[in-house]
Structure 1
Amino acid sequence: MRAFKQTWKKATLQVTFHRQKDTGWYIPHYGLVSPNKPDKIRRICNAKAPQSGTSLNDKLLSGPDLLGNMLGILLRFRQGAIAIQGDIEAMFMQIGVRQQDRRYLRFMWRQPNSPKLEVYEYQRHIFGARDSPACANFVLQQTAKDDIEDHPNSLEIIQRTFYMDDMVASFSDAITAFTTAKDVKDTLKNGKFNLTKWCSNSHEDKIMFKTKDRRNLDSKTWTQRKFLSFVSSFYDPLGIISPFLIRAKILLQELWKHGREWDKAISGDNGKAIKEWYNTWGHNGTSSILRRIIGSNSSSSIHQDNQEPRNHNSFSHGKNKSGTLTSNNNSQTRTASSTLRGKD
């Protein structure tokens, strides 16, 4: 209830049912609790929910893709000696919706222990609407353009280090990092954006990635559906674990070639190969590589806890390339050198 009230304070206004001639759209909504934040309720608006064969998102345009290139942002994040990160608080809630469009962002609500059903309209863009990311990024960049005279470097920093509401950047020294962060924060204040949750690198300057405890999978039988779901659960934009994932993708291709049923247990050589692949990663551990890829101490390798690196090289990113499924398997793994070739 408290989370909903905070949302109303930031982004909604109350209307009534008496405007019968006024057409609009009512958005289903519900609360979602993350296992990592059990005390916080995230309010979810389902703009994909259909009514009479259509939904709100079906009628909205996504707009231009103004997101920065994630690979380029992450590679630049690994260049400088001083790394910083920041987050814009409730970014979408800072972007207003035109008065005539708010009736399409309605939702119903009944207060606890009250028989009265109330209707509210969002005044701000919602998370889940197709046009919200483009609108938010446009306003973010326009805010920097409007402040170009007072802070001339903010626009380039925002375009090259922001991915949606997250700032991920690195600089050659602490003074440059501090002054740049202050300038960007001051610029964004003009657009009512609060850049917060700052953090920087410590003595142990590594990129850490943790694998969840998957031991419950050992007691179950692998099926094609379960295996595909497991492989797809990895999100690795830098391709750090691409040598590990490419083996799984080859195994999936082998399964698809034989037209195996989705929920049938995988046995024989394929079943054995899947279990061997799964056991090579370990059940639950933290792996890491050095964040910085340029500098005197940039040599890094991928290794897990309590394991010494087997080799040393400057790892920037990897890429999986799975070829068309034919009789000759075309899958391969590419590992990039430390030369920065990321798209801006």
Structure 2
Amino acid sequence: MEENPSNEIKNSPNYYLPHHAIFKEYSSTTKIRVVFDASAKTSSSNSLNETLLVGPTIQRDIFSICLRSHQHAYLMTGDIEKMYRQIWVARKHIDFQRIVWRDSPNEQLKHFRLLTVTYGTAAAPFLATRVLKQLAADSSVTHPRASKILLEDFYVDDVITGSDTIDEIISLQTELVGLLKSAGINLRKWTTNCWPLLISLPDDQRELSPVDFEESNSIKVLGLQWCPSKDVFSYKVKFNPSNTCTKRHILSEASKIFDPLGFLAPVIVGVKILLQELWRKQIAWDEEVPDSLSQQWNSIRNELPIVESFAIPRIMLQKQRYWELHGFCDASLDAYAAVVYCRNVNSDKSTSVTLVAAKSKVAPLKVLSLPRLEFCGGLLLVRLVNKIKLSLQVPEVNVFCWTDSSSVLHWFWLAASPKKWSVFIGNRTSEILTSMPFKL
């Protein structure tokens, strides 16, 4: 930031950002962070964020990035150091990022202007990711592999990518660091299950030291716990103690369970059903929930720490082997779900099956028959399979979808003309048959 010249302090338009410190004890680098509130109202009853355009999403979604991390023999993760602070804001806009500051309560307040992209402004994520996209476009010829990683394997400032050989992953890491360094951006907090790469990195660039690696310590990767030495994903569940049980409290606690690929779908669906029941009963945010629902929540909450014992193998499929996707769907009157597995055929003709992803949804408030809910499960499965194929970039993989619902199979069997069905069945049948070839 720079101090405002005294003769420009009264220039308008301008905006002053309220700010305060937050403390993150679990962070390995920045324990104290500054939060700027660009949503604070001014005397005109408007805020900066209300007048800013947010910008579109231009990076891959977290589902796709997490899913692709399962197909590499060697994985590496890292993040950009103070990403937003590496990107300049146009000079004509810096007066909208003013703050007041003083080093001591005994000093007079001084006026400053923030010169870089500021966390807390609505446009910050787009501006930062747009810079990475432009860097990838400008370097597509000189750094083709690193450019592709910038486009496909970054989620804001985090990268999670990999390769199938030691030499290639070391080369990828070197090229990626060099490309970002050319733009004045530092990649750090590297973690990998590739031992030669780990020991070649400087101490200040590693998230896990070789000692931590040998002790099977885990790190947080896009919300998941990853243990590089064992190469497995796991979960951590931490709830805050509370004597009250309200809808706000339940939703806040449930939101702490981050599960992008749906590995905990059988667990999470119970929470979804409970939350839907709270809405159905029109319980206010801070109203005590009925004893029956409170007991149901406490039962779920007491059992959730069991998921910390789960260990999910990271490597899901290997490109050099033959593999298939098998999906299953089912439904009840409360919810419906879909799950996809990968079946690998090894060189010795033996097979192995691993979980790829799952998704669950609660039944709509409008009561539907069980056959129709089964049909919704079939549509959910087809959409999940197509999302997996798109994320893994393997359009020609063999896919098998399974259901035990004779009603759903009957609708497909007579689906030569979806127009003969009701709008509900016809639209869903048409989408399924259009997006996926169907054979009984």
The answer, yes or no, to whether TM exceeds 0.5 is: yes
The correspondence of residues 306-325 of structure 1 with structure 2, limited to 5 A, is: 313-325=353-365
Match of 1:204 among 208, 225, 230: 230
The correspondence of residues 58-137 of structure 1 with structure 2, limited to 5 A, is: 58-137=50-129
Aligned pair in 2 of structure 1 residues 147, 221: CA closer, same or farther (>3 Å)? closer
- Structure whose alpha-carbon radius of gyration is higher: 2
Matched-pair contact (CA < 8 Å) for 1:221–1:266: no
Tell me the distance in 1 between the aligned counterparts of 2:122 and 2:167. 39
SS of the residue 1:226 aligns to: helix
Partner residue of 1:183? 175
Matched-pair contact (CA < 8 Å) for 1:213–1:283: no
Larger helix share, 1 or 2: 2
Partner residue of 2:303? 280
- Count of residue pairs the alignment pairs up: 316
Tell me the distance in 2 between the aligned counterparts of 1:187 and 1:22. 40
Aligned pair in 2 of structure 1 residues 211, 143: CA closer, same or farther (>3 Å)? same
SS of the residue 2:78 aligns to: strand
Superposed CA offset, 1:151-183 (max 9, x none): 122221111111111110121111111101111
Superposed CA offset, 1:191-246 (max 9, x none): 111111111024400012211155x35xx353333222222232221112121111
Q: Does 1:22 align with 2:11?
A: yes
Superposed CA offset, 1:69-90 (max 9, x none): 2111111111011000011111
The correspondence of residues 221-300 of structure 1 with structure 2, limited to 5 A, is: 221-282=244-305, 285-295=308-318
Aligned pair in 2 of structure 1 residues 103, 245: CA closer, same or farther (>3 Å)? same
Matched-pair contact (CA < 8 Å) for 2:9–2:111: no
Aligned pair in 2 of structure 1 residues 141, 267: CA closer, same or farther (>3 Å)? closer
Matched-pair contact (CA < 8 Å) for 2:79–2:188: yes
Which residue identity does 2:11 align to in structure 1? D
Aligned pair in 2 of structure 1 residues 177, 25: CA closer, same or farther (>3 Å)? same
User: How far off its partner does 1:101 sit?
Assistant: 1.1
Partner residue of 1:162? 154
Matched-pair contact (CA < 8 Å) for 1:144–1:188: no
Higher relative contact order (CA 8 A, sep 6+): 1
Aligned pair in 2 of structure 1 residues 15, 179: CA closer, same or farther (>3 Å)? same
Which residue identity does 2:230 align to in structure 1? E
Matched-pair contact (CA < 8 Å) for 2:136–2:151: no
Which residue identity does 2:126 align to in structure 1? A
User: How far off its partner does 1:342 sit?
Assistant: 4.7
After TM superposition, the structure 1 stretch with the greater mean CA deviation from structure 2, 33-42 or 101-110, is 33-42
Tell me the distance in 2 between the aligned counterparts of 1:258 and 1:104. 45
After TM superposition, the structure 1 stretch with the greater mean CA deviation from structure 2, 106-115 or 154-163, is 106-115
Matched-pair contact (CA < 8 Å) for 1:89–1:196: yes
Matched-pair contact (CA < 8 Å) for 1:210–1:286: no
SS of the residue 1:204 aligns to: coil
Partner residue of 1:13? 2
Aligned pair in 2 of structure 1 residues 136, 340: CA closer, same or farther (>3 Å)? same
Partner residue of 2:33? 42
Matched-pair contact (CA < 8 Å) for 1:221–1:265: yes
Tell me the distance in 2 between the aligned counterparts of 1:254 and 1:145. 49
Which residue identity does 2:22 align to in structure 1? L
Which residue identity does 1:325 align to in structure 2? L
After TM superposition, the structure 1 stretch with the greater mean CA deviation from structure 2, 285-294 or 94-103, is 285-294
User: How far off its partner does 1:264 sit?
Assistant: 4.2
Tell me the distance in 1 between the aligned counterparts of 2:173 and 2:303. 41
User: How far off its partner does 1:254 sit?
Assistant: 2.4
Tell me the distance in 2 between the aligned counterparts of 1:279 and 1:237. 22
Which residue identity does 1:18 align to in structure 2? N
User: How far off its partner does 1:92 sit?
Assistant: 0.9
Aligned pair in 2 of structure 1 residues 318, 16: CA closer, same or farther (>3 Å)? same
Partner residue of 1:307? none
After TM superposition, the structure 1 stretch with the greater mean CA deviation from structure 2, 180-189 or 233-242, is 233-242
Matched-pair contact (CA < 8 Å) for 1:213–1:284: no
Runs (5+) with no aligned partner, structure 1: 1-11, 299-311
User: How far off its partner does 1:35 sit?
Assistant: 3.5
Q: Normalising by the residue count of structure 1, what TM-score does the alignment of the two structures yield?
A: 0.82
SS of the residue 2:58 aligns to: coil
Runs (5+) with no aligned partner, structure 2: 194-227, 324-351, 394-440
Partner residue of 1:138? 130
Tell me the distance in 2 between the aligned counterparts of 1:204 and 1:314. 16
Aligned pair in 2 of structure 1 residues 45, 76: CA closer, same or farther (>3 Å)? same
SS of the residue 2:278 aligns to: helix
